[in-house]
Amino acid sequence: MNNTNLPESAEILRLALPLMSRFKIPVTPRNYAVWYEYASGSNLMLNQKIDHLINSGAPINNEFVSALYAEYIDTNHELSQLEKAQKIFAVLQDSITNVLNVAVGKTTEYGITLDHYNNRIKADLDLEQLQFLINDMAISTKIMLKNNQELMEDLNKTRSEVTALQDQLHVAKKQAKTDTLTELANRKAFFDELEELDRKGTLHSGNHSLLMLDIDNFKKVNDSYGHLFGDKVIKTVAKVLKNNTKGKDLPARFGGEEFIAFLPDTNRAGALAVAEMIRKTIAGARIVNPRNNKVISTVTVSIGITEIVPGDNIEAAIARADDALYCAKNAGRNQTAFADSSQPPVNRTPIATGAFY
């Protein structure tokens, strides 16, 4: 988006909003960026494209605006959608500041006018002069009220846009932390949360456990029944994991067919109980193959557990849980294994991504 000062930003915003309303374009950060850029007139190719469509009477819908954004606006691919939305949000905040500054200026101007009238009233005035002064003051007051009404309308309009954009930012933040297939926390969200607990010092107080879970023979499931069915299996496992972790527990999809869960204030016995409930529930789940409506009864998971001890770091704890998971796989799958914090790392040959135990 181009750089402008506050008055220019406010004017561009006032031009952009009616255009979005005219074409019934949803107020999203991406759409807003396109119409703000169009209203500013700083992107010649974008303006030519939109003007051509308007003149030809062709429909302008949300999908088309998204394509315009990708072609003419999204030139910095290093910025996330959230960062771009925040930049637009900053422009809206500047707009509100501008409106308030104008309001303060108008109020100050009106105060000077009233002082002027007050000084004139103190002078010796005849009836005709006094009547003229009162009429003049009434006109000034009416102008002031009109200006205030217009300013409030501008402010309310911008506030509405800020509220809509805040909602979009909230959704964007949530989406950035959520795995789209399972609706669990994603890997980044998991590490961010544990880093925050580590920063607060709560990660090393009390008894906490870490659980890692992997779907057994998942490649065989995909090869036998297709990737859509594989997605259904992943979602089923995620649902079981979520249903068996409560309160402050943090279940997440770690990647592919692998899941992880942080269990705060949970010792070894408690973690084993949770893991066994998850494992048995999945083993007994009725997962139906949509191709023939037959129940698949061979979907199982292996689970590795470890405790997080004082002075531990999350990378070491994950490595131990992963070692325990490997042991469960190596012992025949559909099992739960525990790795004590004092155990050295398992001496095993690294397995390439996508391979299965």
Instruction: Say what the pLDDT of residue 257 is.
Output: 95
Instruction: Say what the pLDDT of residue 139 is.
Output: 61
Instruction: Say what the pLDDT of residue 79 is.
Output: 45
pLDDT at 345 > cutoff 80: no
Q: Between residues 269 and 108, which one has the greater pLDDT?
A: 269
**Type of residue found at 122:** K
Rounded CA Rg of the chain? 31
Q: What are the residues whose beta carbons fall under 8 Å from the beta carbon of 81, sequence distance 6 or more?
A: 29, 30, 172, 176
pLDDT tens, residue by residue, 174-226: 667 888 899 999 998 999 899 888 888 888 787 899 999 999 999 988 888 88
pLDDT tens, residue by residue, 67-91: 888 888 766 544 445 455 555 555 5
Pick from 82, 88, 93: which is nearest to 169 by CA?
82
pLDDT tens, residue by residue, 304-323: 999 998 888 888 899 999 99
Instruction: Say what the pLDDT of residue 218 is.
Output: 92
Structural domains of the chain, ranges and CATH numbers in brackets: 6-175 (no CATH), 187-339 (3.30.70.270)
Q: What are the residues whose beta carbons fall under 8 Å from the beta carbon of 115, sequence distance 6 or more?
A: none
Instruction: Say what the pLDDT of residue 254 is.
Output: 94
Q: How confident is the model at residue 13 (pLDDT cuts 50, 70, 90)?
A: low
Instruction: Say what the pLDDT of residue 275 is.
Output: 97
Instruction: Say what the pLDDT of residue 177 is.
Output: 84
Average pLDDT value over all residues in the chain: 76
Strand partners, 210: 262, 306
Torsion of CA 313, 315, 318, 322, to 10 degrees: -140
What is the three-class DSSP state of 257? coil
Instruction: Say what the pLDDT of residue 214 is.
Output: 97
Catalytically annotated residue among 78, 150, 196, 257: 257
Q: Between residues 333 and 3, which one has the greater pLDDT?
A: 333
- The Cα–Cα gap between 172 and 174 comes to 5
pLDDT tens, residue by residue, 246-279: 889 999 999 899 999 999 999 999 999 999 999 9
Burial class (CB in 10 A: 0-12, 13-18, 19+), 226: middle
Q: How confident is the model at residue 340 (pLDDT cuts 50, 70, 90)?
A: confident
- The Cα–Cα gap between 197 and 248 comes to 12
Instruction: Say what the pLDDT of residue 78 is.
Output: 43
pLDDT tens, residue by residue, 130-167: 565 556 655 665 666 566 666 666 666 666 666 666 66
Annotation says 195 is catalytic: no
Q: Between residues 59 and 107, which one has the greater pLDDT?
A: 59
